[in-house]
């Protein structure tokens, strides 16, 4: 991940810190509450795709695409806030996870397959 992306996450984190502080919400932003809110928002993303075919899910009408984009933003914002409260550097954690997945899913075994790493 480039520094630009890391900077973007830092900017989001700082904006969310300020947003919460301005509203005196820090006491509500516990890891438990933020994780639950994150799961709820992820559920709202899922609702947009429930009952759609694979093809329909890849060609959302513009209005639904906009709704999904806002739900995805909610997921990202809660994720960034949760990471901040837990003192997790998301960009670094993501880089570590990509490296782990590269070992678990070597190209020569995983290309074109959807199997879990322990079944390759």
* CATH architecture entry for 3-88: Orthogonal Bundle (1.10)
- Taking the C-alpha atoms of residue 19 and residue 11, their distance in angstroms, rounded to an integer, is 12
Per-residue pLDDT, 79: 98
In degrees, to the nearest 5, what angle opens at C-alpha 105 toward C-alphas 99 and 110?
Answer: 145
Q: Judge whether 29 and 20 are in contact, CB under 8 Å.
A: yes
Q: Judge whether 69 and 39 are in contact, CB under 8 Å.
A: no
Please classify residue 21 by burial: count the beta carbons closer than 10 Å to its beta carbon, then call 0-12 exposed, 13-18 middle and 19+ buried.
exposed
pTM (2 decimals)? 0.88
Query: Residues in the chain with pLDDT < 50?
Result: 1-2, 4
Kindly list the domain boundaries of the chain, sorted by start residue: 3-88
Residue-wise pLDDT for 5-18, tens only, equals 568 999 999 999 99
- Taking the C-alpha atoms of residue 30 and residue 28, their distance in angstroms, rounded to an integer, is 6
Q: Judge whether 35 and 82 are in contact, CB under 8 Å.
A: yes
């Amino acid at each position: 991940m480039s520094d630009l992306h890391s900077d973007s996450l830092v900017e989001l984190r700082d904006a969310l810190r300020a947003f919460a502080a301005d509203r005196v919400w820090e006491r509500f932003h516990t890891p438990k509450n933020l994780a639950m809110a994150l799961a709820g928002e992820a559920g709202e993303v899922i609702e947009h795709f429930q009952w759609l075919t694979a093809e329909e899910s890849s060609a959302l009408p513009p209005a639904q695409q906009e709704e999904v984009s806002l739900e995805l933003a909610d997921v990202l914002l809660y994720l960034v806030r949760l990471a901040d409260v837990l003192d997790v550097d998301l960009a670094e954690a993501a880089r570590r996870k990509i490296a782990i997945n590269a070992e678990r899913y070597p190209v020569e075994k995983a290309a074109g397959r959807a199997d879990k790493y322990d079944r390759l």
